Structure 1
Amino acid sequence: MNPEAERLAASSPPPPMARSVEELRDAPRFTLLVRTAKLVVDGQEYLCVLRDASASGCKLRLFHGLPKAKSFALETSNGQRYPMDMMWARDDHAGFRFHEMIDVQELLADKRGPYAKRHVRVRLQCPIVVHALGRAIPAVLRDISTEGAKIDCSERMMLRQLLKLEIPGFPPTFGRVAWRQVPYHGLSFESGFPLDQLAHHLKAMYALQPQNAAGEAPPLLS
């Protein structure tokens, strides 16, 4: 190569792929995080803990095996979702790669958002039975967290009324009505769930949902 060609080659920017690899390698990684989040698996929500993150991916602590799935997304407590692919799973941790490079500072600033003091809520649509004043009333569980739940019940409950909930996969659960906007009622549990227990109860709930067309429960990733 003549001197002029060498000079032009040296001054040329690296190809896009080379820049992408370099950006991935140099992306700052924030480790030793303990941030409760949700792993959305084919639209179904599971609790997890964000342990580290970079612009290109993250590592999550899981509480159980996951169903084989076509899509994954990380959802933070402010509702922001980050589509991603699972790259590896080992013991109770799994690594994921985001579909696009993200602003990791924005991800970690989640707790300074409008829901900073709000527990992560898992959205559901699960039929349950509410026991109140000696009656068994059908209702629908709309969301649940370690400290409370939102139910859809046509019966108008009194504020501070104590309710007993029969939820598939859960032990008998007691909560008081904290707010109401009929048919919706917000409940505060008498005794909250540790995060890992709630995660396992949710897994049990999902396992009790209707089986697939082949008559088999969804297989789990080890």
Structure 2
Amino acid sequence: MTTFTAADDDYVPRPVSVAREPRLTTILLLGRMVTAGGDWVCRVRNLSSGGLMAECDAPLTVGEHVRIELRNLSVLQGAVTWTQPRRAGMMFSDPIDVPTLLHGGAQDPERRPRAPRLSATCPVLLWHLGQTTVPLLRDLSQSGCRLGITSPPPVGTQVRVTIPGLAARHATLRWSCDGEAGFAFTEMLSFDELSAWQADLSARFAAE
């Protein structure tokens, strides 16, 4: 659930030559941060028309260009202006309209929100009716995963998925097409679980 209030004491640090914006929104938006080194799940905490503050474990440097894809399908692009452990500030390439970003398209059926998905290429254990197979994980979100699988069971099938670095989870097959299948977890991953998992690149991309 997204909530927001005006905040005067909590702000995104900006270059000295740029005046602080009078309006800033304190929020909680989940997103996928894409950098030159890969993709990372993040939480946007502060947002203004010119920039934001995000919580993320990505190894960022000042001046680095990044892209953040939000759950509502909006995309924010800009450069890192400051970094702290697990936090960073970002200045947008172009100013945004905050109300439109937060609420625009909410009634558009063609823009259905989706949980941020992290890319991966690692083998997982898929259990179904006493049989175990080892498909490849293609991507992972808090709510489910996409697997590369040649002979998936019927849609609606209940399975158990064990992903390296995470506890086994029950899931339901939602779709399959062209050698891939999407599964929805019965119990969602927490943000902290997904954040810890994404950092182990040797396990996350074990098949590369």
TM-score computed with the length of structure 2 as normaliser: 0.73
In the alignment, structure 1 residue 133 sits paired with structure 2 residue 129? yes
Does the 8 Å CA contact 1:88/1:95 hold for their aligned counterparts? yes
Does the 8 Å CA contact 1:75/1:82 hold for their aligned counterparts? yes
Cα distance between partner residues in 1 of 2:48 and 2:186: 38
SS at match of 1:208: helix
**What are the ranges of 5 or more consecutive residues in structure 1 without an aligned counterpart?**
1-20, 212-222
Match of 2:69 among 62, 67, 75: 75
Match of 1:158 among 154, 161, 172: 154
User: Offset at 1:200?
Assistant: 1.3
Q: Cα distance 1:139–1:171, how it changes in 2: closer, same or farther (>3 A)? A: same
Does the 8 Å CA contact 1:60/1:95 hold for their aligned counterparts? yes
Report what 2:45 is aligned to.
51
**What are the ranges of 5 or more consecutive residues in structure 2 without an aligned counterpart?**
1-14
Q: CA RMSD in A?
A: 3.0
User: Offset at 1:207?
Assistant: 4.2
Match of 2:93 among 89, 96, 99: 99
1:1-222 aligned at under 5 Å gives the runs 25=19, 27=21, 29-42=23-36, 44-62=38-56, 65-68=57-60, 70-109=64-103, 112=106, 114=109, 118-129=113-124, 130-204=126-200, 206-208=201-203
Cα distance between partner residues in 2 of 1:114 and 1:167: 32
Q: Which has the larger radius of gyration?
A: 1
User: Offset at 1:116?
Assistant: 6.7
Report what 2:11 is aligned to.
none
Does the 8 Å CA contact 1:128/1:166 hold for their aligned counterparts? no
Number of equivalenced pairs: 187
- Which has the larger displacement, 36-45 or 104-113? 104-113
User: Offset at 1:142?
Assistant: 2.8
Cα distance between partner residues in 1 of 2:194 and 2:105: 21
TM-score computed with the length of structure 1 as normaliser: 0.69
Does the 8 Å CA contact 2:40/2:118 hold for their aligned counterparts? no
Does the 8 Å CA contact 1:177/1:188 hold for their aligned counterparts? yes
User: Offset at 1:157?
Assistant: 0.8
